[in-house]
Amino acid sequence: MEAASSKLKSEDEWRAILSPEQFRILRQKGTEAPNTGDYNHHDASGVYGCAACGTPLYKSSTKFSSGCGWPAFFDAIPGAVSRHEDRSMFMTRIEITCTACGGHLGHVFKGEGFDTPTDERHCVNSVSLNFKEE
């Protein structure tokens, strides 16, 4: 039940919980600079969760090296990530958010030709994630 109530937090409550950089990315839909995130080249076995609410989002077995400058995953844990049309930046992209709290994760791209089971790249900000080893 906590997850459902997470979306009801006020911006002031989120600001108190998150670091300024986490707030900028997770709540204001910002982006971290490429090749700066802690999880871009991270390859330990475990689960990546939402940095805002802790909900498990991605298994390390779905992470791959895309060379894009951000952590890349070819699939999310079922139901954990929601997709929304994003028409900012003078283009149409698919934004991905944490289903539980609505935190901005990044964007998903399809059909880029990566050798993955889904031919998708979930391009996720490291700041939006936390990691738990298995």
Going 107 to 127 to 102 to 15, the CA torsion angle's sign is negative
pLDDT of residue 112: 95
> What pTM value is reported for the model?
0.91
- 123 catalytic per annotation: yes
Whether the per-residue pLDDT at 30 is higher than 50: the answer is yes
Give domain limits for the chain.
2-133
pLDDT of residue 7: 67
Look at the block and give the residue holding tokens 């059909």.
111
Residue of 50, 53, 98, 123 marked active site:
123
CATH of 2-133, one of 3.90.1150.10, 2.70.70.10, 2.170.150.20, 3.30.70.3420: 2.170.150.20
Write phi, then psi, for 77 (nearest 5 degrees).
-65, 130
Q: Binning pLDDT at 50, 70 and 90, where does residue 1 land?
A: very low
pLDDT of residue 17: 94
pLDDT digits (tens, 9 = 90+) for 85-125: 988 878 889 999 999 999 999 999 999 999 999 999 999 99
